[in-house]
Structure formats: structure tokens, C-alpha cells
């Protein structure tokens, strides 16, 4: 209950309280995008905070991931000027202990927003920059820096409230696997850190 009260005092728009016309959102933010039907609305809402990705080619796919979401570049477009990006959403409950659609709407938007922040980062890198990123990501210390910077970029895009709600949901979700909880704590911003950034 304290979290609910705290959540009401957070800056930013509570997306769950608004009504949306999915066709209008799709017309503006759905160009060159392929959606997973059940995540179409939250994907479009997240995309609305990333106007720089309006023209980007992004495919949303289910996958057997060890994390809730993952962003990558389609290998066939890696060396091309116009790249195709893939955002995977985990569909295997055993991997994380829950599925993304069981989280509140704000939290779902935050997860996809975080992955879109990765896409934004990728889009500014040339081939050598992407290779350098990949090497760094294999190092645990550098991975922590990358993921926390990506959380900060998500906040800068206006999804700080949503990221906080995702972080609180994950922290208090009894179904979350022990291994995934460790990953969340080790590599990503924690609720108190997100609040500090939001209140600056």
C-alpha cells in the first residue's frame, strides 16, 4: 500500500489512467514496426516517447529469454545504413518466474522503453562502435555501466515514473526467479536511485 501511495506522488503521467486510440497511435508511431498483438498498445505507448525512432525498422518478437526483454540488431542488416532492430519479449515463465503482461501497464511500458533506449544507442553507433559495445557488454562491470546508463536514458525520455513502477513491481514480485532478482539488483538502477533522479 505504501508503494501505491508513493506511486501516486511520482512526477510524470500515469499512463494507466488514460484512454488510447490504438489506431491513431499506430498511424503515428507504427511505421516500419511489426508488433506482438498482445503487446501492441504498450509498445506503441513506449514508442511515443522515442520520436527519433519513428522511421526505424523494429520487429517485436517472442523469445525464450533469461530476461524480460532484449534488444538486438538483425544480423542481415548489421552492416547496412538502414538497420533492422529486434526487441525480444520473454514468453517462457520458467526463465524469469513471470510474464511481462502480468505486470502493470506502466511497468510494461518501462521495460519496452528500456529496450528502445538500447535501440536509440545502437542507432548512433557505426559498425566499430557496435562491436566495441558488444565486447564491453561481455564484461560484467561494463555491462552494469551500460544497463544503468540505459535506465538513465529511459528516464531522460520521460519514462522515469514507469521505470520506478517496474522496479518496484520486480522487487516485490514473489514469483520472480531468484536468479533474475540477482540480475535486476546487480545491473540495473534500484527504486531509490530512480526516485533520486526523478526528484532532481
Q: What pLDDT digit, counting tens, does each position of 98-138 carry?
A: 999 999 999 999 999 999 999 999 999 999 999 999 999 99
On the question of pLDDT at 18 being above 90, the answer is: no
User: Is the full-model pTM beyond 0.85?
Assistant: yes
Distance from C-alpha of 180 to C-alpha of 119, rounded to nearest angstrom: 22
On the question of pLDDT at 4 being above 80, the answer is: no
On the question of pLDDT at 152 being above 80, the answer is: yes
pLDDT score recorded for residue 13: 83
Q: Where are the alpha helices (DSSP H) in 48-159?
A: 93-96, 105-123, 127-137, 140-154
**Rounded average pLDDT over 141-161:** 97
53, β-bridge pairs = none
pLDDT score recorded for residue 9: 67
Q: Count of residues for the chain? A: 200
On the question of pLDDT at 5 being above 80, the answer is: no
Tell me: the pLDDT tens digits for 164-175?
A: 999 999 999 999
Amino acid at each position: 500500500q505504501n508503494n501505491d501511495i508513493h506511486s501516486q506522488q511520482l512526477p510524470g503521467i500515469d499512463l494507466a489512467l488514460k484512454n488510447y486510440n490504438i489506431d491513431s497511435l499506430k498511424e503515428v508511431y507504427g511505421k516500419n514496426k511489426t508488433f506482438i498483438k498482445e503487446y501492441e498498445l504498450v509498445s506503441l505507448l513506449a514508442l511515443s516517447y522515442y520520436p527519433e525512432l519513428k522511421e526505424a525498422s523494429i520487429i517485436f518478437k517472442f523469445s525464450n529469454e533469461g530476461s524480460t526483454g532484449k534488444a538486438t540488431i538483425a544480423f542481415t542488416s548489421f552492416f547496412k545504413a538502414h538497420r533492422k532492430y529486434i526487441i525480444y519479449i520473454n514468453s517462457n515463465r520458467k526463465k524469469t518466474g513471470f510474464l511481462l503482461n502480468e505486470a502493470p501497464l506502466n511497468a510494461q511500458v518501462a521495460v519496452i522503453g528500456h529496450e528502445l533506449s538500447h535501440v536509440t544507442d545502437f542507432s548512433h553507433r557505426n559498425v566499430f562502435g557496435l562491436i566495441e559495445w558488444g565486447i564491453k557488454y561481455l564484461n560484467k562491470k561494463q555491462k552494469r555501466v551500460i544497463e544503468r546508463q540505459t535506465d538513465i536514458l529511459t528516464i531522460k525520455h520521460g519514462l522515469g515514473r514507469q521505470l520506478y513502477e517496474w522496479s518496484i513491481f520486480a522487487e516485490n514480485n514473489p514469483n520472480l526467479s531468484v536468479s533474475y532478482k540477482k540480475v535486476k539488483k546487480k545491473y540495473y538502477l534500484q527504486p531509490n536511485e530512480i526516485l533520486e533522479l526523478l526528484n532532481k
